[in-house]
Amino acid sequence: MILGTVVIGVLMRGIHLAGALGRAVLPGLDVPDLVVPTLMVQLLLPLLAGIFLAAPLAAIMSTINAQLLQSSATIIKDLYLSLQPHQASNERRLKRISSLVTLVLGLLLLLAAWRPPEMIIWLNLLAFGGMEAVFLCPLVLGLYWERANAAGALSSMITGGASYAALAGFHLQPGGFHPIVMALALSLLAFLAGNRFGRRHRLLTEITRTAMPWIQLKITTTGQQADTLSDALTESGAVSVTFQDTHDVPVYEPLPGETRLWGDTDVIGLYDAATDMATVVDVLKAQPLLGENFSYKIEQLEDKDWEREWMDNFHPMRFGERLWICPSWRPVPDPQAVNVMLDPGLAFGTGTHPTTALCLQWLDGLDLRGKTVIDFGCGSGILAIAALKLGAAHVVGIDIDPQAILASRDNAQRNGVAERLALYLPQQQPQHLHADVVVANILVGPLRELAPLIIDLPRPGGALGLSGILASQAESVAQAYAAAFALDPVAENDEWCRITGTRR
């Protein structure tokens, strides 16, 4: 750090001294910004002059390129996608819009640089003045005036920026004042005027008191002790208790009624903000499982509209060329496409997981018109409903969880395909069941153990799609089906994969 400071200091002093003393060497220089490059060209060897001139020019160009890309990304992410969130998965359109925005910004930058000022520093001063005119009043009044609101801040930003640009652009100085003075005065007046029409916020103390209405207590324990500790937290006043993996180790889907936990598990209790946590800790110290010196972590949680927060995480998603999965609260991106309306619910499968996405893409690529399909492990019914929407004549859904059967039936009714979907628990499914297409998005253990049963479901020449498989497990699953199927190359998404093939 010391060496770097010395080097930077020498460079900065050398450049400034060269600019100040250059007039003594080249007295005819009238433009300050030409001093250093002219000295390099006239006093250094051509090779050295080229190197010293190319380095800052390359740095300037790379900085401009980075800023153009950053500006374009900001416009696309913060403006366009906030207005059109369903376009987040439309990569082709985003690329086109991003290229167009970058081109427009580049042309504007070229026009701005067409006739640059004699000293580049004037551009810096203009930029700093614009930032001050736009942000000074909103920042100061927003922080220290309790009556400030968004309408006042927005009015101030627009007025300050527009007035400064006009005054500086046309070299106007009313009353002899610099443009920044008048721009700040107009910005302040606009804040006060706009503030009268905006919604008045509560006092800061009220906001502080309501912004942190929950307290979270976290204790790390073992999977064997997690249930006992959960009971202790509930008895101490926790309104809810959740389990969380300490080391990010995946736990796969449990059987019905089974709670499968990690080796090291974080048990998290949620308490009302009015709870005396010192008393809670004293109560927990009396638990034989924890003892007097147990480790814990207490955090305050920000209040949110949790339903809205949850809903905002789900957007329409496209799989393949025709198929879209759309939550009911979002507009349908393409009414002419194959649209499955599906809300996240009690059963597994909304399209967000790579295994579901792999199966949906595979179904989209098949010609399902008039075909029969079996969805082995139907979950929410997303694959069965997608197959029906893609043209399948009839689909059979099978799942070991009665809750999944209910969810599949409800989702099928919502999509208007319930009459073509038959749903069974394993012990209720018809004997000698066969189909043209079989898809099984379950776990690797059942895929191997139930291979003889699944192999018998597709008709000769029928298609099979298997997922729920980690890429590292693909070979062992493929071996169980290779004798009966001509297998395709394995498709991968992140660490997950899909195995497909045709019945021999």
Which tens digit of pLDDT belongs to each residue from 24-67?
777 777 776 777 777 778 777 888 888 877 877 788 788 878 87
Beta strands in 260-416 (DSSP E): 264-272, 297-301, 317-319, 323-326, 338-341, 372-376, 394-398
**Over pLDDT 70: what percentage of the chain?**
83
Average pLDDT estimate for 381-407: 93
Coil, helix or strand at residue 439: strand
453: left (phi over 0), alpha (psi -120 to 50) or beta: alpha
Coil, helix or strand at residue 103: helix
Q: Which amino acid is at 350?
A: T
Q: Alpha-carbon distance 9 to 11, whole Å?
A: 5
Q: Alpha-carbon distance 85 to 458, whole Å?
A: 39
Are residues 340 and 382 in contact, defined by beta-carbon separation less than 8 angstroms? yes
User: To the nearest whole number, what is the mean pLDDT of the chain?
Assistant: 82
Burial 310-323 (b: 16+ CB within 10 A, else e): eeeebbbbbbbebb
Segment 117-173, tens digit of pLDDT: 666 667 777 778 888 988 999 999 888 887 888 888 889 999 998 998 888 888 888
- Tokens 């099984």 belong to which residue? 440
Coil, helix or strand at residue 444: helix
| Residue 346 pLDDT class (50, 70, 90 cuts) | very low
Residue 152 has which token pair?
């006042």
Q: DSSP letter string over 2-42?
A: HHHHHHHHHHHHHHHHHHHHHHHH-TT---GGGHHHHHHHH
Q: pLDDT higher for 351 or 228?
A: 228
Q: Which of 99-103, 258-262, 339-343, 365-369 has the lowest mean pLDDT?
A: 258-262
Are residues 487 and 478 in contact, defined by beta-carbon separation less than 8 angstroms? yes
